[in-house]
Structure 1
Amino acid sequence: MDFVSNLDGDMCLAILSCLDDPSDLVRASAVSRSWRHFVIKQSLTKNLCLKLFPQLTSVDRVLEEETTINEEEEEEEDTRRRRREHRVYALLAKGCTSSPIQSCIADAIAASSTDRLPAESISNTLDERDRVGRTPSYWSSAGHHNPSVPETLLYKLKADLCLITQLSIHPFQVYYYPGRPICSSHYVRFRLGHLNNHSQDKNNYVWAYTSPQFALAQENRLQKFKLPEPVLCIGGYLLVEFLGRVQRCDADDLYYICVTHVKAMGRSLAKSFRVVDPDESSGKFGLKVLSYSDPQEMNDKEEEAGPSEFRTMRNRRLEQLVDFLHRHPTDVVQYAASDYYESDEEEEV
């Protein structure tokens, strides 16, 4: 029996609302015209997306580059809106569940403090290695007598929409100091949000999500922190907060925090969506579809065209090389270019 045609609307809604996977709702909408009409009319795909990703409650409108169905011109506005939302939220759900897991940090923006620039810049945390050639590669905070003074690192993600699942921190071991101390913090916390475009202060951010505090071990390794549940970052900014200082420097009796690498893993929706016209007074924003192509297929085509991430990393390493040459002009002959392009090899000190 076709229950959608033979049962009342409330009973049909109760049955189809038991589906907890957006892909199942998309399949249900393809069974017949009556099923498709019911799924769209009841906004089932949108409602399930809002349930899975509460951050989407801030979306007050969805936009497309162009109308994709000619018949929409003859439909009522409410029907057109529901059809459009069904397409958009179905694509969003697919991107959040089937796009490849990848590193989502695009660039380093700013640190709350830096001990020495540019040698200990936040940009060093984008490289997984703790040294480039024989030069240490890490970020260091300014020193403080008070070990409770926090520090923050701000990053731009690869897309306005990124589903973040895990973040990682690698504390730096000061291998050239006696005792090889590790300058970590007691705890780390993560915030996800967007830039406040209507503020006079260009450094004003709105943090829609704040993670729990995670204990950061005083160990020389990449430490992974899985979020309690995947978080959809709307706006594309990540703030890393270091709480409590562990290591004091014997040279000046000050506490420092030093980090080799920061990583955010998740699903980037850069090729499919863009956030438009955020309204800071209401917290609402528009969601624009850039392409309905399969995110996985687009990633495969991009990899065939050439790995853009490799080119970005090469540029960063060239910047590190230039900085190294400025600081060690008399030692240039001792290092080969291969020191700056080998990905994981480390030299003995």
Structure 2
Amino acid sequence: MATGRNFMDYFEIDVISNVLGFLNNPADLIRASAVSRSWRHHVVANGLCKKLWLRKFPQVTNVAYAVEDSDGITKLSNISSGSPANWEALKRDHKIYSFLLQPLAKPIISPKDCLGFPIGASSTDHDLAENVINTLTPIDRYPGGASYWSSKGEKDPNVPENILYRLNTSISIVTEVHIRPFQAFWEPGRPVYSPKSVRFRLGRPKSMVDVEIDVCPVQQPSVDKYIWTYTSPVFPMAQESCLQQFKLPEPVVCVGGIFQIELFGRARRGPIDGLFYICLGYIRVLGHSLEPAFNLEMYPSGELQLKYYPHALEVLHRSFSGERSSSVDEAESERLLHRAELLLEEMAEEVLDEWD
């Protein structure tokens, strides 16, 4: 340190990559790239921001990214591609992935319900009265009736069920799921028709043809139309009519906006027919949308492109932290501050290029 020696001069490239690979915080990786020209060259040339992105969020491996610049949308290569790139392309990738990591590395202070609309359920007992649409409202009892979804009755208590939903945006971070089983308050003993356990899957349609956009939920939607990029552990459920919370082991990026609940095991028989049922009153999926800073598009070929809008990144940061601008002036100040940060980063890159 006294002589100002660079440790990169004394180690092989693979050793240096292994050392820097322990940086798990995007901010630390960006700081490392600003130490000197040689450090920056190593971070950029070896795509360390890209590798960190894939390590943290493997669900997005097969997405081709795009960035919005002054000339419009510039498509980037598939992030899982190992093909060589020129220095300008590597620098561009470094900048994009560093921005992508910023909101995803922040804790979500104010999670929101991400559910949009149900695609359908594997079965429904009475389609009009017990439709899966009822799971979107927290009110499961009103004068003269009840609001809930019920499966069809089965003799075998081990027959599973599943419900498919569309999330309210095409790309979201999902952190936890809340489910309230339904209690049949009119039946003797007020039984709760909860499944014994649940599991969650996140994914996307295989192609535009497979995008189900019916106004009403369909009966027995085909799960084969979707590519599942994440499957959660199996969570046990209590036989209680309360909002039960299931926190995912870590935040998951849902690319494509499809969410599935798998329901295993039936604990209660209906008093009239003696068949086993599952009934749910309310479901919500908590997390945060990545819009408006990021937007996903699917092309007829099935290719996905994630578009990045730098001017909207500050809005996303504010939304993650639960902050709101108290005035137009405050919003404008934050916009100018963000622009100043970008300019400072560009100036730092120019200075580093002139070193040595």
- TM-score for the superposition, normalised by structure 1: 0.74
Match of 2:62 in 1: 58
Cα contact 1:185–1:242 (8 A) shared by 2: yes
C-alpha displacement of 1:240? 0.5
Distance 1:85 1:259 in 2: 45
What are structure 1's unaligned runs of at least 5 residues?
70-75, 306-349
Match of 2:255 in 1: 234
Match of 1:20 in 2: 24
C-alpha displacement of 1:297? 2.6
Match of 1:321 in 2: none
Distance 1:176 1:118 in 2: 19
Match of 2:264 in 1: 243
In the alignment, structure 1 residue 289 sits paired with structure 2 residue 308: yes
Match of 1:84 in 2: 92
Distance 1:106 1:2 in 2: 56
C-alpha displacement of 1:86? 1.8
C-alpha displacement of 1:257? 0.9
Match of 1:329 in 2: none
C-alpha displacement of 1:303? 8.3
Deviates more, 1:236-245 or 1:205-214: 205-214
**CA deviation digits over 1:123-166, x for unaligned, max 9?**
22112232245532211112223322221111111332222222
C-alpha displacement of 1:84? 2.6
SS in 1 for 2:90: helix
Give the alignment partner of residue 151 of structure 1, picking from 152, 161, 175: 161
Cα contact 1:147–1:246 (8 A) shared by 2: yes
Match of 1:343 in 2: none
Letter in 1 for 2:318: E
Superposed counterparts of 1:239-318, under 5 Å = 239-277=260-298, 285-292=304-311, 293-294=313-314, 295-297=316-318
C-alpha displacement of 1:42? 1.8
C-alpha displacement of 1:276? 3.5
**CA deviation digits over 1:54-113, x for unaligned, max 9?**
223223x321122589xxxxxx96233222322222222222222633222122221222
**CA deviation digits over 1:284-341, x for unaligned, max 9?**
6432213452212356687879xxxxxxxxxxxxxxxxxxxxxxxxxxxxxxxxxxxx
What's the C-alpha RMSD, in Å, of the aligned pairs? 3.1
Distance 2:293 2:30 in 1: 18
In the alignment, structure 1 residue 169 sits paired with structure 2 residue 188: no
Letter in 1 for 2:270: C
Superposed counterparts of 1:164-203, under 5 Å = 164-197=174-207, 202=212, 203=222
- Structure 1 residues 77, 58: CA separation in 2 closer, same or farther (over 3 Å shift)? closer
Give the alignment partner of residue 96 of structure 1, picking from 95, 104, 126: 104
SS in 1 for 2:69: coil
Distance 2:325 2:168 in 1: 16
**CA deviation digits over 1:179-217, x for unaligned, max 9?**
101001122111110012155685521212222222111
Distance 2:211 2:319 in 1: 37
In the alignment, structure 1 residue 117 sits paired with structure 2 residue 127: yes
Match of 1:141 in 2: 151
- TM-score for the superposition, normalised by structure 2: 0.73
Letter in 2 for 1:269: L
Distance 2:128 2:85 in 1: 56
Match of 2:52 in 1: 48
What are structure 2's unaligned runs of at least 5 residues?
73-83, 213-221, 328-356
Cα contact 2:161–2:264 (8 A) shared by 1: yes
Distance 2:265 2:200 in 1: 15
- Structure 1 residues 304, 256: CA separation in 2 closer, same or farther (over 3 Å shift)? farther
Matched residues, percent identical? Answer: 38
C-alpha displacement of 1:4? 6.8
Match of 1:220 in 2: 241
Distance 1:275 1:80 in 2: 25
Distance 2:254 2:234 in 1: 18
Q: How many residues align?
A: 296
Letter in 2 for 1:247: R
- Structure 1 residues 198, 127: CA separation in 2 closer, same or farther (over 3 Å shift)? closer
Match of 2:335 in 1: none
